[in-house]
């Protein structure tokens, strides 16, 4: 637990006879961006609300930077920053005035220098003295991150932080999160936008019907896939000649995609051998495209497997 910014152990939540969250456990390391994934209604927000103590837990433990929130609540919460739902500010005040207001409510003193440092970190220097009502959604999100960082937490928790942002805003937000992680701050992001999580996160877990059903590194699946068949498209000068050549080698699973492209299902390590053989036999290759499973592909595959297991 020494390097863990957050650890949850067997977290559960029951409402009436319904188990909303069922024994969820995971750890987040310092300097790591961690994704909490799942369809809407899977229990992600309930997990976050229990971590930040907005709702009571039915069972389980939460440790923030090694501190048990049950035995030392104030110390633990002082190591955590969070944005649950959309960040709310006084719109008639400037961004700076809002931050000063939140700084005054902190358990420990927050200096003028710290506020200026955070404003620079989230790239709001040019707008911080404007009224919040003039801010775009992306600027308000960054101001929310600034507010969450004021007291120098070990981890910040963001629930669906890119909702409503345009592509440019999402990209900028992603870059700011990586800057935070590079400074040793852990980030927990809850989202159902898998393409964004794939670009943002280092590791992720999948929550399905309140249960943690999968945990992995973002890049872990690609290493496994190297042992499996991959769809490989070769762009060549003559697909007919290439197919005939490969069939002479008893490679029969060749599909003609066009006059200049063929598709094969190959183990990863066989791609270079096929390429070398084609070139040796004077087939000009201008491109090789290897498909890989996206996080969305893996998510659907894993959740479908869970449904099949439930039926059985």
- Domain 4-218 of CATH type 3.40.50.720: no
CA distance 225 to 230: 8
User: Is the distance from CB of 249 to CB of 278 less than 8 angstroms?
Assistant: no
Q: Containing H/E element for 311?
A: helix 295-311
Q: Containing H/E element for 197?
A: helix 194-200
Residue whose token pair is 């420990």: 108
Please state the length of the chain: 312
CA distance 293 to 18: 35
User: How high is the pLDDT of residue 296?
Assistant: 65
Tell me the average confidence (pLDDT) per consecutive run of 10 residues in the chain, 312 residues long: 84 93 95 90 91 94 94 91 81 94 84 90 91 90 89 89 77 85 92 78 90 81 52 89 85 83 82 88 88 67 63 54
Q: Which CATH number fits domain 223-290: 3.40.50.300, 3.40.50.11060, 3.30.70.980, 3.40.710.10?
A: 3.30.70.980
User: How high is the pLDDT of residue 270?
Assistant: 84
Residue whose token pair is 């595959």: 301
User: How high is the pLDDT of residue 246?
Assistant: 87
The separation between CA 115 and the C-alpha centre of its own chain, rounded to angstroms, equals: 27
Task: Indicate the pTM of the whole model.
Answer: 0.73
DSSP 95: H
Alpha helices, DSSP H only, in 66-190?
Answer: 73-77, 95-104, 112-121, 137-149, 167-182
Strands, E, within 30-168: which ranges?
A: 33-37, 59-64, 67-68, 80-83, 155-159
CA distance 62 to 77: 11
Beta bridge mates, 207: 212
User: How high is the pLDDT of residue 195?
Assistant: 76
User: How high is the pLDDT of residue 224?
Assistant: 42
Radius of gyration of the chain (CA): 25
Residue 91's region, left for phi above 0, alpha for psi from -120 to 50, else beta, is alpha
Q: Residue-wise over 98-131: b if at least 16 C-beta within 10 A, else e?
A: bbeebbeeeeeebeeebbeebbebbebeebbeeb
Please report, for the chain, the start and end positions of each structural domain, with discontinuous segments joined by +: 4-218, 223-290
User: How high is the pLDDT of residue 159?
Assistant: 85
Q: Angle formed by the axes of helices 271-280 and 239-248, to 10°?
A: 110
């Amino acid at each position: 637990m020494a390097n863990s910014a957050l650890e949850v152990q067997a977290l559960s939540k029951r409402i009436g006879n319904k188990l909303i969250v069922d024994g969820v456990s995971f750890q987040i390391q310092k300097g790591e961006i961690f994704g909490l994934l799942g369809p809407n209604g899977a229990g992600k927000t309930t997990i976050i609300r229990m971590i930040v103590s907005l709702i009571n837990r039915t069972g389980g433990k939460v440790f923030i930077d090694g501190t048990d929130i049950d035995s030392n609540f104030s110390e633990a919460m002082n190591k955590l920053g969070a944005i649950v739902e959309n960040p709310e500010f006084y719109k008639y005040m400037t961004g700076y005035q809002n931050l000063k207001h939140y700084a005054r409510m902190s358990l420990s003193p927050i200096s003028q220098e710290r506020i200026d440092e955070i404003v620079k970190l989230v790239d709001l220097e040019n707008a911080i003295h404007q009224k919040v009502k003039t801010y775009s959604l992306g600027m308000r999100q960054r101001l929310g991150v600034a507010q969450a960082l004021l007291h120098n937490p070990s981890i910040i928790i963001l629930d669906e932080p890119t909702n409503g942002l345009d592509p440019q805003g999402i990209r900028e937000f992603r870059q700011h999160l990586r800057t935070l992680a590079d400074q040793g701050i852990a980030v927990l992001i809850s989202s159902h936008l898998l393409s964004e999580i794939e670009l943002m996160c280092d590791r992720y877990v999948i929550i399905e019907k309140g249960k943690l059903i999968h945990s992995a590194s973002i890049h872990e699946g690609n290493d496994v896939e190297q042992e499996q068949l991959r769809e490989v498209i070769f762009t060549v000068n003559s697909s007919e000649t290439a197919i005939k050549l490969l069939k002479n080698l008893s490679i029969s699973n060749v599909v003609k995609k066009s006059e200049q492209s063929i598709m094969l299902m190959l183990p990863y390590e066989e791609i270079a051998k096929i390429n070398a053989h084609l070139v040796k036999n004077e087939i000009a290759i201008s491109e090789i495209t290897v498909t890989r499973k996206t996080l969305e592909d893996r998510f659907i595959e894993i959740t479908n497997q869970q449904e099949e297991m439930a039926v059985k």
